[in-house]
């Protein structure tokens, strides 16, 4: 599974950081940081989700009030 984080959309509510520790509070920027992610486009960060973190990642995506987090399965289908 893969997570895609649109940091441009993020408004720094930090619900995601409660759900999955790969999301870290960046209070200076007022946005979350996604650890170990690659910036594939300006402000768009992507990384693999470890198998044992798949539930946490889905909860993080569901918790985001502005839908800045998307989760994709291995076939590339969006699941959250």
Residues that bind ligand SF4 (CB under 6 A): 10-16, 23, 31-32, 63-64, 66, 68-69
* Rounded least distance, CB 33 to ligand SF4, Å: 9
Task: Choose between 10 and 75: whose C-beta lies nearer to ligand SF4.
Answer: 10
CB 64 within 8 A of CB 15: yes
CB 80 within 8 A of CB 49: no
Q: Is 38 exposed, middle or buried (0-12, 13-18, 19+ CB in 10 A)?
A: exposed
Task: Choose between 4 and 14: whose C-beta lies nearer to ligand SF4.
Answer: 14
CB 62 within 8 A of CB 80: yes
Task: Choose between 32 and 71: whose C-beta lies nearer to ligand SF4.
Answer: 32
* Rounded least distance, CB 73 to ligand SF4, Å: 20
**Maximum separation of any 2 CA atoms in the chain, in Å:** 36
* Rounded least distance, CB 52 to ligand SF4, Å: 21
């Amino acid at each position: 599974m893969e997570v895609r984080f649109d940091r441009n959309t993020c408004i720094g509510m930090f619900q995601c950081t409660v759900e999955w520790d790969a999301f870290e509070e960046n209070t200076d920027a007022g946005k979350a940081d996604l650890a170990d992610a690659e910036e594939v486009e300006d402000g768009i960060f992507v990384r693999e989700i470890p198998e044992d973190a798949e539930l946490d990642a889905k909860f993080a995506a569901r918790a985001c009030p502005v839908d800045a987090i998307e989760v994709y399965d291995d076939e590339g289908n969006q699941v959250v």
